């Protein structure tokens, strides 16, 4: 009886204990401890091998091997320091080749991603966007290198407000330390959500296939091609004037529940938001940014919102494949514009969160760009009469227009149509063109025409062009030409052009393409390389380069 009474007294205590436990569990579940739940800048230290010796910064030490190397990530949350062992390797395409500190992929050991850990709800593989250039200054908003990363991060956050399919991102202050020599460099960085986590969160599925199948699926299968998603994304990307993308570049192809193609964008390092700030800073110092101005010329008025260009681009590229009506595309644009404009307040509220990360002037520049974006959308919504398509006759007329924009758009549009009667019209004034971008565009659009039509023209310009800059454009197209037979024929022809084999950069470019397209069993290329070696007799450096190319041919077979 005493035992029963004793147990009865304990019941309220047990009940209270259970109540507290349930409350704690509920609180734990509500509290999102995942990496991407906060907008606070996360301070981390990445330890690894960044120096080749005490003085030389060599973050690209493992670039060519593309192998994982061991490292350690140290981070602070609530004044508590945590350390996680990991492996990392370099990644990327353009930035991998051009950055002193290229982007990295971090691979955590699964067993350390325990409950309560900051990374517990994240995938074991995470992408790290680095600050690219070696920098040993300070985390100052005035620093140009810092601004590039911060602006790219802002792009991720703003896009997520207007486009439903996007990656989560977390801004970082990263210190890189060499295991042997100590501090290497530091700068802002970005953690990007793993694609598997993203599709799970958005109830999507990854495209299961190779890149070649990806292209075939996206461009040729009307059943799965989602014109509405493409239109929406084109409009959404314009918030930062991002034209450095297309369905097989800087986008991830995923499928929704209806097996429709959905594009998820990433990589915003070349957007207007990033380069507006840089360009303004350089102008104040009396300097210019060559890359920025080159891209501005390529994409016409890079600072204005080109919704008219977007509409024409989609019609020109996809109408002859899928037969979408002009009215249908305009309707989709207006519907997309309406959805995006409804998010205007959310976008500016989001933008205001990051005011402290940049200077007042830089913030003013970014805000002005976003304001212009929404005002242009509103113009599109309320002045529908402005939304019209150019006809083929318009494009033919514009081929000779004084406006760079009209000529450039005409070359691209007529090239996409790939009608044989347009080929001569596009190429006839090639030598009259003085603009680098227009010449490059003419050559690029040729790949849509039949090989029989293209080959004589490419051979002609290869043999007669004298300007190094123009030859460089031509070689870029030659070594990536889609038809394998034509590509090989043009590479052999290019090897024996005096202007090419006497120029170090051009020769290096064309010789690099040899082992990528031929093998040692190809007697013709081996004979041609030996003939070239005889031709440049006495030029030891060129002969040495040819010998290295022959060795690479042998290694390729093995």
Please spell the DSSP secondary structure of 302-359, one letter per residue.
Answer: TTS--HHHHHHHHHHHHHHHH---HHHHHHHHHHHHHHHHTTHHHHHHHHHTTGGGS-
- pLDDT of 277 over the 60 cut: no
| In a shared domain, residues 212 and 233 | yes
Q: What is the mean pLDDT of residues 327-349?
A: 89
CA-to-CA separations, 310 to 37, 275, 337, 380, 417, in angstroms, rounded? 34, 21, 12, 12, 17
The domain boundary residue, chosen from 354, 386, 418 = 386
| In a shared domain, residues 275 and 349 | yes
- pLDDT of 529 over the 60 cut: yes
- pLDDT of 12 over the 70 cut: no
Confidence of residue 160 (pLDDT cuts 50, 70, 90): very high
In a domain, 10, yes or no: no
Confidence of residue 289 (pLDDT cuts 50, 70, 90): very low
Kindly report the average pLDDT of the chain as a whole number: 75
| In a shared domain, residues 72 and 190 | yes
Confidence of residue 544 (pLDDT cuts 50, 70, 90): confident
In a domain, 11, yes or no: no
The CATH number that applies at residue 210 is: 1.10.1070
Q: Which residues contact 164 (CB under 8 A, 6 or more apart)?
A: 202
Name the more confident of 120 and 211.
120
| In a shared domain, residues 210 and 298 | yes
| In a shared domain, residues 193 and 231 | no
**CA gap 303, 296 in Å, rounded:** 8
| In a shared domain, residues 236 and 363 | yes
473 CB burial (10 A radius; 0-12, 13-18, 19+):
buried
Q: How many other CB atoms are there within 10 angstroms of residue 309's CB atom?
A: 19
| In a shared domain, residues 192 and 48 | yes
The domain boundary residue, chosen from 146, 180, 198 = 198
| In a shared domain, residues 378 and 455 | no
In a domain, 362, yes or no: yes
Q: What is the mean pLDDT of residues 207-218?
A: 62
Please state the length of the chain. 558
Q: Could you tell me the residue range of the domain that residue 457 belongs to?
A: 450-557
Q: How many other CB atoms are there within 10 angstroms of residue 297's CB atom?
A: 16
- pLDDT of 477 over the 80 cut: no
Instruction: Dig out the tokens for 267 from the structure.
Output: 């990589």
Q: How many domains does the chain have?
A: 3
In a domain, 349, yes or no: yes
In a domain, 234, yes or no: yes
Model confidence, pTM: 0.67
Beta strands in 135-168 (DSSP E): none
- pLDDT of 66 over the 70 cut: no
Query: 66 near 105, Cβ under 8 Å?
Result: no
In a domain, 34, yes or no: no
**pLDDT score at 373:** 83
Q: Tell me: the pLDDT tens digits for 219-240?
A: 555 556 677 888 899 889 888 8
- pLDDT of 259 over the 50 cut: yes
Q: Which of 178-182, 340-344, 416-420 has the lowest mean pLDDT?
A: 416-420
| In a shared domain, residues 243 and 114 | no
Query: 317 near 256, Cβ under 8 Å?
Result: no
| In a shared domain, residues 69 and 170 | yes
In a domain, 191, yes or no: yes
| In a shared domain, residues 188 and 256 | no
- pLDDT of 287 over the 50 cut: no
- pLDDT of 290 over the 50 cut: no
The domain boundary residue, chosen from 332, 355, 386 = 386
| In a shared domain, residues 172 and 320 | no
In a domain, 138, yes or no: no
Q: Tell me: the pLDDT tens digits for 72-95?
A: 999 987 788 888 888 888 887 667
């Amino acid at each position: 009886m005493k035992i029963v009474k004793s147990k009865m007294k304990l019941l309220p205590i047990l009940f209270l204990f259970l109540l507290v436990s349930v409350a704690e569990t509920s609180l734990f579940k509500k509290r999102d401890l995942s990496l991407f739940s906060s907008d606070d800048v996360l301070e981390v230290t990445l330890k690894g091998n960044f120096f080749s010796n005490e003085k030389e910064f060599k973050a690209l030490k493992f670039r060519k091997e593309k192998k994982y190397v061991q490292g350690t990530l140290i981070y602070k949350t609530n004044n508590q320091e945590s350390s996680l062992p990991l492996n990392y390797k370099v990644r990327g395409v353009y930035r991998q080749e051009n950055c002193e500190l290229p982007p990295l992929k971090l691979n955590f050991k699964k067993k350390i991603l325990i409950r309560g850990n900051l990374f517990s709800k994240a995938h074991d593989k995470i992408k790290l966007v680095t600050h690219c250039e070696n920098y040993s200054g300070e985390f100052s908003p005035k620093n140009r290198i810092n601004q590039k990363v911060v602006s790219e991060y802002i792009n991720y956050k703003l896009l997520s407000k207007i486009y439903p399919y996007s990656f989560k991102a977390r801004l970082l202050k990263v210190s890189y330390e060499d295991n042997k020599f100590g501090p290497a460099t530091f700068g802002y960085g970005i953690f990007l959500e793993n694609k598997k986590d993203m599709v799970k969160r958005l109830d999507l599925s990854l495209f299961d296939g190779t890149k070649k199948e990806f292209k075939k699926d996206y461009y040729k299968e009307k059943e799965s091609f989602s014109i509405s998603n493409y239109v929406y994304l084109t409009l959404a990307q314009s918030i930062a004037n991002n034209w450095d993308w297309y369905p097989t570049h800087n986008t991830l192809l995923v499928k929704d529940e209806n097996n429709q193609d959905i594009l998820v964008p990433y990589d915003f390092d070349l957007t207007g938001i990033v380069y507006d700030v840089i360009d303004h800073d350089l102008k104040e110092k009396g300097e210019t940014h060559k890359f920025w101005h080159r891209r501005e010329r390529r994409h016409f008025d890079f600072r204005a919102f080109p919704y008219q260009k977007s509409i024409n681009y989609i019609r020109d590229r996809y109408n002859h494949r899928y037969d979408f009506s002009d009215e249908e595309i305009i309707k989709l644009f207006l519907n997309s514009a309406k959805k995006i404009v409804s998010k205007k307040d959310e976008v500016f509220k989001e933008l205001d969160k990051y005011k402290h990360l940049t200077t007042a002037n830089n913030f003013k520049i970014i805000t002005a760009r976003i304001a212009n974006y929404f005002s242009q959308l509103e113009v599109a919504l309320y002045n529908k009469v402005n939304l019209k398509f150019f006809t083929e006759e318009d494009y033919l007329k514009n081929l000779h227009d004084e406006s760079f924009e009209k000529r450039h758009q005409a070359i691209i549009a007529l090239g996409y149509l790939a009608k044989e009667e347009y080929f001569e019209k596009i190429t006839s004034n090639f030598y009259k063109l003085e603009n680098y971008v227009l010449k490059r565009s003419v050559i690029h659009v040729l790949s849509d025409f039949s090989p029989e039509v293209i080959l004589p023209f490419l051979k002609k310009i290869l043999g007669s062009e004298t300007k190094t800059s123009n030859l460089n454009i031509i070689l870029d197209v030659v070594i990536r030409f889609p038809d394998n037979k034509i590509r090989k024929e043009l590479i052999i022809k290019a090897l024996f052009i005096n202007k090419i084999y006497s120029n170090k950069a051009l020769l290096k470019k064309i010789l690099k393409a040899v082992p990528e397209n031929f093998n040692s069993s190809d007697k013709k290329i081996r004979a041609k390389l030996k003939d070239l070696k005889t031709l440049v007799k006495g030029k030891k450096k060129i002969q040495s380069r040819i010998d290295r190319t022959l060795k690479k041919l042998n290694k390729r077979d093995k």
